[in-house]
Amino acid sequence: MSTTNKTVTKILQSYIESTGKKKVFFVILFGVFLALFWALEPLIFTEMIKIIEEYISSWNILVSEIINISIIWGVFALTLIIFAYVFDYFFLAKTIIKNYHDQSLYYANRIVQMSFGHYLSKQVGSIYKILDRGTENQLFFLYTLLLWVLRSVSQIIIISIILFVVDWRMAIATLALVPFAIWIGAFIYKKVAPTQKKLDQTYADGFAIIWNGLSNFSLTKILNLEKIFYNKMEWIFEDSYKKQLKINRWWSLAHGYTAWIVILSRILVIALWFYLITKWELTFSILFLFFSYIGWIYFPLSFLFEQLRQFQKYLTAVELMHDEFDNLEFEDINTWKNLKDPRWNVSFENVSFGYSDNKKILKNIDLEIKPWQKIALVWDTWAGKSTIVNLLLRFWDVNFGEILLDGIDIQDIKKSSLRSHIWVVSQDNSLFNLSIEENLKFANPKATKKDIESALKKAEAMFVYDLPKWIKTVIGERGLKLSGGEKQRISIARLFLKNPEILILDEATSALDNRTETMIQKSLDRLMKGKTSIIIAHRLSTIQHADVIYVLQNGRVVESWSYTKLMKKKGKFYRLANPDKLILG
């Protein structure tokens, strides 16, 4: 099966799943019935022409027949309008928009559930654009297929039958060029399909560049990268422009061929009619019928060629969405277990990890975090402290060894269940471009205003109530409307609202001044009581009261003990420590 056929099959399967087989059957049946209705209209015209022919030949006007035909025509037109509305709204709009809704939710869920490693291999702007174009073009595809293509194909078949019933000779003349017209459309579609697919990918790449510039807007400004981003986008969109012109050149050629085929068909029909009328075998009304139906066959056929062009764009966008999101690696699978009443005894046993085979970040790490214990990680540059946190959160899985939680390998635990009990406050606290209240409620959706105010107070973040809209203030992309210290305090307030069983403080107070840090540290100390805590910090004041300090160097644990004992030992930690400045290093 070709890629295009697979994509069409997937679209139709998703439509049947969201609509139901019975309803889809009625959609198609009603569409064919409506096409039959449309196809009957020229027969009413023909009856009127026959009355005119009768009048010309005998000068006898049949008023009653004219009135009857006019009434039939009026009722027919009104019925057609009603049926068209019912079909378009109740059968198409409701089912196709529901499919769009279901597919958008389905793929959005797949995206947010993708593994962290899979996410890092993709460009965020490209992900968004592919999703947007894919779901939207699937909606357009279904509308075009069920509203116009179904009607056009049904009409061509129904009209062909009518024509053969009226006069088989004239029918053959009318339909003689249909195979040639179909061949032209298929040839051009095959010719431009690969270019259309490349074009859609090019557009996705262009929007990925735009997103990169916007997602790091302050860095773009600081480094004066506007011109660089513009040049990259200019090159991509220039390439897109050339590809689009190439595609349009072929389809413009198809339009010319279609117009020529329609004209040639009309000549054939008139020529045959002229031959047959000389033998008194046909009437003028029959010529009128066939001449009318030429437009009802070839113009819908021309429309189908035009839709081949649109279908190509629709299917390419949908195919790209399927390629991008159907084979994602997911965070949780059914075989993983939920946590039940954990004691929070965490141990790393002979853990080794590297992002590639030739570069190991962690080498045979052994460390233990007992329940309700507070440990600190101290490191040299590239020692692997953040990697330890990422492994505990299962952003990555270990290459060798195992991480145990209450004796259970965390690779057997559902990631969402594991993370629901852990909360991280890091040095780079990226906040969402939402209000302060919404950012805080991600930690606890049921938090009351009193809970929020208490958390802000504990985090020394009462500056919020000096803002124009208080907790309703929108803080900008990544919290750029706040200072570094303000962002940090909002993140710490979020921690108080969450009140998790395991705390990971990754340079949590690094952006705060000494006075604010001292106040918040007291609150954090109260919060850490009865919890398992992991502290990563440069400031001695932050780690001095840890139960155990692990010193990492070159991916290995080289020392571990309490602060007092490590200082007495005068080893690696002692050389890193600088008590006069209250920092490590």
According to the model, what pLDDT value does residue 490 have? 83
List for the chain the helix, strand, coil content (%; round to 5): 65, 10, 20
Per the prediction, the chain carries an average pLDDT of 77
pTM of the model: 0.66
Topology (CATH level 3) of domain 427-499:
Rossmann fold (3.40.50)
So where are the chain's domains?
Answer: 3-325, 427-499
Residue 182, pLDDT above cutoff 80: no
Number of H helices, E strands in the chain: 21, 12
Q: Is the pLDDT of residue 582 over 50?
A: no
Q: Which residue has the higher pLDDT, 251 or 464?
A: 464
Cα 17–chain centre separation: 19
Residue recorded with tokens 């440069």: 538
Distance CA 456, CA 450 (A): 10
- Pick one of 1.10.3720.10, 1.10.20.10, 3.40.50.2300, 1.20.1560.10 as the CATH number of 3-325: 1.20.1560.10
Q: Residues 420-462: pLDDT tens digits?
A: 888 887 766 667 778 888 888 888 888 888 998 888 888 888 8
Q: Are 525 and 495 in contact (CB under 8 A)?
A: no
pLDDT score, position 362: 86
Residues above pLDDT 90, as percent of the chain: 1
Window from 6-20, 38-52, 538-552 with minimum mean pLDDT: 38-52
Q: pLDDT digits over 507-536, tens only?
A: 767 666 777 677 777 777 777 877 888 888
CB of 425 closer than 8 Å to CB of 461: no
Give the type of residue at 98. Answer: K
d(CA 266, CA 258): 13
Nearest alpha-carbon partner for 325 in 473, 520, 127 = 127
Q: Is the pLDDT of residue 46 over 60?
A: yes
Residue 332: is its pLDDT beyond 60? no
Q: Give the closest residue to 398 by CA, choosing from 406, 408, 407, 388.
A: 388
- CA–CA distance from 144 to each of 86, 141, 309 (Å)? 17, 5, 12
Q: 129-143, 249-263, 555-569 — which is least confidently predicted?
A: 249-263
**Alpha carbon distances (Å) from 440 to 426, 433, 435, 508:** 16, 12, 9, 16
Identify the weakest region by mean pLDDT among 317-321, 328-332, 452-456: 328-332
Determine the Cα–Cα distance for residues 189 and 108; give it in Å rounded to an integer. 31
The 10s digit of each residue's pLDDT in 76-110 is 778 878 888 888 888 888 898 899 888 888 888 77
Q: Tell me, letter by letter, the H, E, C secondary structure of 247-306.
A: HHHHHHHHHHHHHHHHHHHHHHHHHHHHHHHCCCCCCHHHHHHHHHHHHHHHHHHHHHHH
Contacts of 168 (CB under 8 A, 6+ apart): none
pLDDT band at 159 (very low <50, low <70, confident <90, very high): confident
For 236-245, write each residue's pLDDT tens digit. 777 777 777 7
Q: What is the C-alpha to C-alpha distance for residues 149 and 123, in angstroms, rounded to an integer?
A: 36
Question: Which token pair is 174?
Answer: 């009318």
Give the model's pLDDT for residue 544: 81
More confident residue, 216 or 288: 288
Tell me which long-range contacts 200-203 makes (C-beta under 8 A, separation of at least 24): 200/133, 200/313, 200/316, 200/317, 200/320, 201/320, 202/236, 202/239, 202/240, 202/243, 203/129, 203/133, 203/240
C-alpha distances (whole Å) from 503 to each of 208, 236, 302, 538 are 35, 45, 66, 17
Q: Distance between CA atoms of 321 and 324, rounded to whole angstroms?
A: 5
> What is the spatial distance between Cα 298 and Cα 262, in angstroms, rounded to a whole number?
6
Residue 130: the pLDDT is 80
526: DSSP letter: H
Q: What is the pLDDT of residue 316?
A: 80
Across 121-132, average pLDDT? 70
More confident residue, 250 or 147: 147
CA 567 from centroid of its chain's CA atoms:
53
Q: What is the pLDDT of residue 574?
A: 80
State the average pLDDT over residues 319-332: 74
pLDDT band, very low/low/confident/very high, at 225 (cuts 50, 70, 90): low
Give the pLDDT mean for 32-46: 78
Confidence (pLDDT) at 217: 64
